[in-house]
Chain A
């Protein structure tokens, strides 16, 4: 797979480390009253969709940026690439 990096252009996916579902960005706060189920669901359960999937990739052998990539898990087609910080900001503004 070739990943179109927002700053560096097309890069081989070998340069990246895969972390998983981008939902991992939204960790329940430690300060919140302990809600065991919420944290269990965050840590262990996944949507694991067949089709569009937002996921975290880390450019370890590159500029060490965290990316959120929207990719089709049935075709491996990459639909969108954004910096994780930009994605987070957009999500927060959306909320």
Chain B
């Protein structure tokens, strides 16, 4: 069924009785060409691009819970491509271009809103860094605009420009950045993959890999053994847990990141604002809630909930840069498990085990990468060669010294 405005109109006339389920609920077959472990954003987009671009349809997506129940349903929905390093920026720009065509591609309303992402700076040195980053972005075909103090005042008059510790001196803005309705991304990809024959199997936990003579030929699940020519792990925060079943240790620590929503307010924020110096970033959802977050809690965690000191720190950051939100009440907060890698950059790679592939290490930046991650993982699975924009995301880069460390803090995951 193709969704359209006319369809909505006609369904309205007939009491909305004609809508069908957006994807099937099949039982697993005995064998597939490719098994994708993890029905989150990245797993579903991998299945979508495999079936829609690379014409491989004999695929199963295995999900332990329900699809979209992990980080795709827990993030702060921001998309942008404002990276610095040459291994990262082309990848994220590729992702942003895919975001721009996503709704037409998947025929699903993902509410892609290019409202602009603003990164505030406070000093000459930070301005220089912003200019350098902006130039790196332009070189990769992305857009970047440097805003001086007055230009930023016109856009965001409510910022605390005279802040004693962090006076606001301007910002680097990416106008094509913005927000996307996160759940709809998972659903749109699921529907598009299912339409091509991909089996999305929920409530199916992978318990073990079937590995013989260094080759993986399937998985043992809570719904029985399933064989496949290729097995692709794509489970974000649970990466170490899943890959340990193949006796692999990863350059990853799992950490908890909290996010917050205030009560609904009238429209006040028209952009995404990031206040890096104070560990705070915010946008306003279409329902009116301020959606905001800050730093990870900083210790290994699989708990999907954090501790109160970080809540206080994030709210202090918000109050420091945007005193006007002081009366808004916090409505909800939650945590997601981040697969923090040793250099802050992700992996899309084969493993040393034949037929076993790995996608992970997205840290707290996986959402914006969802389309490109799936596309590049699909490319790797279909062709056994890395996609040109994801060549740097190898598992052995630490051994070779080719780290992709945007912040330059080294192998200390809670600092990335």
Contacts and interface: CB of A to CB of B under 8 A. Distances in A.
Interface of A: 1, 12-14, 18-21, 36-37, 40-41, 43-50, 53, 55, 71, 73-76
Interface of B: 238, 240-241, 244, 249-254, 298-303, 307, 309, 342, 398-399, 411-414
A55 B398 contact: no
Contact of B241 (A1, A50, A71): A50
A45 B302 contact: no
Contacts, number: 72
A74 B342 contact: no
A58 B23 CA distance: 50
Given A13-B307, A18-B298, A47-B240, 10 more contacts: A20-B413, A40-B398, A43-B398, A44-B398, A44-B411, A46-B253, A48-B240, A49-B240, A50-B240, A73-B303
A48 B250 contact: yes
Contacts of A20: 253, 300, 412-414
Nearest to B313: A14
Contacts of B413: 20
A44 B303 contact: no
Nearest to A69: B299
Given A20-B412, A40-B399, A55-B299, A76 B253 contact: no
B303 A46 contact: no
B411 A43 contact: yes
A41 B249 contact: yes
A92 to B, nearest CB: 24
Contacts of A74: 302-303
A50 B398 contact: no
